[in-house]
Amino acid sequence: MLPPECLHFLLLCFQVQVLVAEENVDFRIHVENQTRARDDVSRKQLRLYQLYSRTSGKHIQVLGRRISARGEDGDKYAQLLVETDTFGSQVRIKGKETEFYLCMNRKGKLVGKPDGTSKECVFIEKVLENNYTALMSAKYSGWYVGFTKKGRPRKGPKTRENQQDVHFMKRYPKGQAELQKPFKYTTVTKRSRRIRPTHPG
């Protein structure tokens, strides 16, 4: 008997074949629907990283119920456990130290919650053209995780995808090995020149 993951994949392939066979079908709509649908079959991916804020120049911290973007590289409160919530790009973000989840309430305020089962604690990862990542609320469409230059949270209704306030880089915690490799490092290193050995004439 095939494992549940294989059955789920085969079912998805069948759905795609049916869609392709129909005329004038926008495949992007199907992908978006699959991204928004809960995936309770596949194994959840767990990643450990930091989220570097483009505006504050620091990292997001989950300090219990309080959220900020003032964490230094390697700060224990800036280490985030990120779990995929769906077949696509929906994630739940939990502070490794406090075990509180990053959430957005109905007023658009970023808060930490001990229970992350609410849809207020689910975000859609969007990789932007400038290679930054934006996190849009799955419950309140168009509202993003964002911070001011001082690292204070912005309210969701005051955020837009093209604002630098909502742009983040994923970075591994300083001095720690990654759990998985879902993305490349964001730090840049200079290439060292290769020195060819000289042979005596």
The stretch 169-179 carries a mean pLDDT of 73
Least confident of 6-10, 81-85, 180-184: 180-184
Give the count of beta carbons closer than 10 Å to the beta carbon of residue 113. Answer: 18
pLDDT tens for each residue of 34-81: 444 444 444 568 899 999 999 999 999 999 999 999 999 999 999 999
Pair 48, 83: CB distance under 8 Å:
no
Higher-confidence residue: 100 or 87?
100
Pair 139, 146: CB distance under 8 Å:
no
Confidence of residue 174 (pLDDT cuts 50, 70, 90): confident
DSSP string, 77-110: GG-EEEEE-BSSSEEEEEETTT-PEEEE-TTS-E
Nearest alpha-carbon partner for 143 in 103, 171, 113, 170 = 103
Fold that domain 46-171 belongs to in CATH: Trefoil (Acidic Fibroblast Growth Factor, subunit A) (2.80.10)
Nearest alpha-carbon partner for 116 in 77, 80, 68, 73 = 80
pTM for this one?
0.67
Confidence of residue 193 (pLDDT cuts 50, 70, 90): very low
Structure tokens at 70: 């003032």
Could you give the 3-state DSSP secondary structure of residue 20? Answer: helix
pLDDT tens for each residue of 99-123: 999 999 999 999 999 999 999 999 9
Q: What is the pLDDT of residue 105?
A: 97
In the predicted model, is pLDDT for residue 200 greater than 50?
A: yes
Torsion of CA 49, 67, 162, 73, to 10 degrees: -40
Rounded distance between C-alpha atoms, residue 104 and residue 92, angstroms: 12
Nearest alpha-carbon partner for 172 in 162, 185, 189, 159 = 185
Could you give the 3-state DSSP secondary structure of residue 27? Answer: helix
